[in-house]
Amino acid sequence: MAEAERIIGTPDSAGADESAASDGTEAPVERLRGRRRIVALFTVALLAYLLDLGSKVLVVEKLEGREPIRVIGDLLRFDAIRNPGAAFGMGEAFTIIFTCIAAAVIVVIIRLARKLYSLPWAIALGLLLGGALGNLTDRIFRSPGVFEGAVVDFIAPAHFAVFNLADSAIVCGGILIVILSFRGLDPDGTVHKD
């Protein structure tokens, strides 16, 4: 946790001295900028979470126990399955571990949000947060029991794992983080060249 906070940190660019008040507190402009990033993070997270939750409710109600729906011939279909494991159905015996990992990710993102000064990072972390919350909700509230629930997956591309919108949000957030890291943009809004 301390390492993640060290990496995210607060802005330490040359202009940071101007943004700090004489007593060492942040200037109102910096606080407002940071709050906007936090609002962006939680807005993206809420949107990703609600889309995932709504799609799962619809899938359970309309598709579970029925024939798959072919969307694009044999290339893509909607097929409701319950996945107690991770991607590709691996780790079915470790559902409680996946639940703990998702909970830890959520705690870290929420804790680090106060030091976030980059809109692209806010979007990326919001996608991760919303996706983690979506799958954690399944793990907590779906059968067979609390913290052991199976995730509802339904997007079934040919020759690939069946997944859901929470998984998509997590993957998109992860890809965005990799791109931002390669471009040298730090979560605190500074840009570094290596």
167 an active-site residue?
A: yes
Catalytic residue chosen out of the listed positions 12, 23, 138, 167: 167
Residue 185 scores a pLDDT above 80: yes
Mean pLDDT of 99-105: 86
Question: Could you say which DSSP state residue 170 is in?
Answer: H
Catalytic residue chosen out of the listed positions 52, 138, 153, 186: 153
What is the pTM (predicted TM-score) of this model?
0.79
Residue 133 scores a pLDDT above 90: yes
17 an active-site residue?
A: no
pLDDT of residue 89: 62
pLDDT digits (tens, 9 = 90+) for 9-67: 544 443 444 444 445 555 676 666 678 899 999 999 999 999 999 999 999 999 999 99
Distances (CA, A) of 136 to 10, 82, 104, 128, 162: 29, 14, 11, 12, 17
pLDDT of residue 138: 93
pLDDT digits (tens, 9 = 90+) for 144-178: 888 788 899 999 999 998 999 999 999 999 999 99
Q: Whole-angstrom distance between the N-terminal and C-terminal Cα of the chain?
A: 25
Token duo for residue 127: 């996608």
- Based on C-alpha coordinates, what's the Rg of the chain? 20
Residue 94 scores a pLDDT above 90: no
Contact 180, 124 (CB under 8 A): yes
List the beta strands (DSSP E) in the chain.
69-72, 76-83, 151-157
pLDDT digits (tens, 9 = 90+) for 68-88: 999 999 899 999 999 887 765
- Higher pLDDT: 19 or 106? It is 106
pLDDT of residue 20: 44
pLDDT of residue 93: 63
pLDDT of residue 192: 80
Burial of 21 (0-12, 13-18, 19+ CB in 10 A): exposed
b/e per residue 88-114 (b: at least 16 CB within 10 A): eeeeeeebeebbeebbebbebbeebbe
- The Cα–Cα gap between 127 and 124 comes to 5
b/e per residue 120-137 (b: at least 16 CB within 10 A): bbbbbbbbbbbbbbbbbb
pLDDT of residue 158: 94
Residue 131 scores a pLDDT above 90: yes
- The Cα–Cα gap between 36 and 114 comes to 11
Residue 1 scores a pLDDT above 80: no
